[in-house]
Amino acid sequence: MTQGETQSSPSSPTPGGKDSLILATTTSTEDSGLLDYLLPDFEKQFGVKINVIAVGSGQALKLGEDGNADVLLVHSPAAEKDFMANGHGVRREDVMYNDFVIVGPADDPAGIKGLTSAVDAFKKIAEGGSKFISRGDKSGTNTKELAIWKAANLTPAGEWYINAGQGMGEVLTMAQEQQAYTLSDRATYLARTKQGLNLPIAVEGDKTLFNPYGVIAVDPAKRNKIQGDWANKFIDWLISVPVQEKISQFGQSDFGQMLFTPSSSLWKAAHPEQ
């Protein structure tokens, strides 16, 4: 079976069948370990194989637009809104959120440690020509990074600004090797510290660094083999209170904190005090 194809199935698949589901998602959900933590439960419960394509959110949305994925798990709110407005998706639900952090060398050549503004930090990085690694892959993280540069009225260019075209894990590795700054989602950053990453967080807590994730069912009219029914079953499962509870527990034992905070409508209804 080639990438982008799924096994044929009845129009209304039944749990326990030999169907498969193509999930296009951002690299952060894979690099953080979240997919390995969650997906086996769905596969075991429903007897469905999930084929994961982990790319930037922009690429994941393009796979959905082209009918080469059944369901998307991404973190690029404006692009998700456009995707739905243009009729490429039939359902979108909030899933969870975390935040972005700016990480960099321990000696902090740009002098941004402790700043509370991501825009101010980016300005200082650019002013000093401190090395910065950009994902450059149209991912949700790359989109956020470019929005910060825009808010700073800067167009990053020059030898100090490196366009990697890589996923988050690879970019963090590059940043450590080259003693550079980069923007990362917190979950992937923390997961990589368990693998030897030694770049401290320089800037965090700015409200502009908020990082929400959504799940989208691709319009089945895109391609006759799109698993619309399974996509909706997956969404129902992902936003359910038990699975949201499991998301809230991810990372607690290793880091003493949530790597992702659940945010589905069902979770919020069950936890109105939060």
For 142-185, how does the pLDDT look when each residue is reduced to its tens digit (9 = 90+)? 999 999 999 999 999 999 999 999 999 999 999 999 999 999 99
Three-state SS string over 202-253 comes to EECCCHHHEEEEEEEEECHHHCCCCCHHHHHHHHHHHCCHHHHHHHHHCCHH
- 17 has pLDDT over 80: no
CA-closest candidate to residue 94, choices 239, 236, 237, 218:
239
d(CA 73, CA 71): 7
Helix axes 168-178, 186-193, angle to 10 degrees: 60
Whether residue 81 sits in one domain with residue 167:
no
- 6 falls within a domain: no
| Residues 49 and 64 occupy one common structural domain | yes
pLDDT at residue 16 is higher than 90 = no
Residues of the chain above pLDDT 70, percent: 93
Mean pLDDT of 111-124: 97
Q: Is residue 15 part of a domain?
A: no
**What residues make up the domain containing 136?**
99-209
The DSSP H or E segment spanning 150 is helix 140-151
User: Is residue 13 in some structural domain?
Assistant: no
For the segment 235-253, the average pLDDT, to the nearest whole number, is: 97
Output phi, psi for 173, to 5 deg.
-65, -45
CA distance linking residue 195 with residue 48, whole number of Å: 31
Q: 109 and 179 share a domain?
A: yes
Q: Among 209, 230, 252, which residue terminates a domain?
A: 209
Element (H, E) at 114: none
- Domain shared by 103 and 199, yes or no: yes
Q: Which helix (H) or strand (E) holds 186?
A: helix 186-193
In a domain, 72, yes or no: yes
- The pTM of the full predicted model, rounded to 2 decimals, is 0.87
CA dihedral 132, 137, 140, 146 (to 10 degrees): 50
What's the mean pLDDT in 33-41?
Answer: 97
Same-domain pairing of 152 and 250:
no
* Per-residue tokens: 88: 């490429």
Q: Give a yes or no: residue 218 inside a domain.
A: yes
pLDDT in tens, 176-214: 999 999 999 999 999 999 999 999 999 999 999 999 999
Task: Give me the pLDDT at residue 218, please.
Answer: 98
| CB proximity list for 147: less than 8 A, separation 6 or greater | 208
Q: Per-residue pLDDT for 3 more than 70?
A: no
How high is the mean pLDDT of the chain?
A: 92
| 245 and 200, same domain (yes or no) | no
3-state secondary structure of 2: coil
Closest CA to 235 of 259, 265, 268: 265
Query: What distance in Å separates the CA atoms of residue 205 and residue 8, rounded to the nearest whole number?
Result: 47
Asked if residue 105 and residue 93 are part of one domain, the reply reads no
Report the pLDDT value the prediction gives residue 2, as an integer from 0 to 100: 35
What integer pLDDT is reported at residue 19 of this predicted model? 79
Residue 5 banded pLDDT, cuts 50, 70, 90: very low
- Domain assignment present for residue 53? The answer is yes
* Mean pLDDT on 31-38: 95
Q: Which residues contact 231 (CB under 8 A, 6 or more apart)?
A: 21, 70, 71, 217, 218
What is the C-alpha separation between 211 and 49, in angstroms, rounded? 28
* 25 domain-assigned: yes
Residues 245 and 224 in one domain: yes
Q: How many domains does the chain have?
A: 2
Question: Is 8 inside any structural domain?
Answer: no
pLDDT tens track for 52-105: 999 999 999 999 999 999 999 999 999 999 999 999 999 999 999 999 999 999
The pLDDT value recorded for residue 224 is 82
End-to-end, the C-alpha distance of the chain in Å comes to 44
